[in-house]
Amino acid sequence: MAADLFLIGDSHIIAIADAAEDRGLTWKGGPLASGRALEQYFWKIDGKKFIYSMEGAGPIRERFCDLLVFDGPILTTLGFNSHRFVEDFDKYAQAQKLSPSPSILSEAAFVDTVCDARHVALEFYRMLSDHGCDVYFTASPQRCTMQNHTLLRAFEDLLIAKIEATGAKFIETRDAVLDEQRVRSEYAKADDPVHGSLALGALILDRMAKLRG
């Protein structure tokens, strides 16, 4: 069945799905797993068929099988469980008795660290590019301490640039959604402030529409 867009990513994709339905848009795909789980390889390719290969995936596999032949925009949050990178980097810095800042590494070493930490996500975006897909991506709302905010932004900005190099288009919402390191209340679920609300999903769709012209 045809759909208006294909959604694929972690649980932060749900706000976008809700906003799409609120507008009468149809979508395929949905959330795959937690961001942590998606740091491991989660797919295989069989011809033009995308096979979601995570153990225990069960019946949701069929939701994603035509990802590579989908004739429309693909929207994803993959790779942007940014707080996980910050937590791991912070543990390393503490072990070395250093301040948790990108500057504890050379620029080249920081680039290598980010690319290594998100090599699965980067390969996923390159795979979509190789199949000629129309790809859009966004940074899901993340939380960290103010001390680590600079590190989180450095990670995201570098990852965004690497993904854009594959031809995917970035949907920037952080300027509107984040109040320092926290999600503004109007964009967060009242009962689940970690995840975005319908308003966040709507903002992402609005900004994607502008990118598409």
Average pLDDT over residues 156-165: 97
Measured CA to CA, the distance from residue 22 to residue 40 in angstroms comes to 33
Buried b (16+ CB within 10 A) or exposed e, 25-46: eebbbbbbbebeebbeebbeee
Pick the CATH number of 5-212 from 3.40.50.150, 3.30.40.10, 3.40.50.1110, 3.40.50.300: 3.40.50.1110
97-142 residue pLDDT tens? 555 556 667 788 889 999 999 999 999 999 999 999 999 999 988 7
pTM of the model: 0.92
Measured CA to CA, the distance from residue 206 to residue 209 in angstroms comes to 5
Banded pLDDT at 184 (limits 50, 70, 90): confident
User: Which has more confidence, 177 or 96?
Assistant: 177
Q: What pLDDT score does 70 carry?
A: 97
Measured CA to CA, the distance from residue 81 to residue 56 in angstroms comes to 22
1-26 residue pLDDT tens? 589 999 999 988 999 999 999 999 99
The residues spanned by each domain of the chain are 5-212
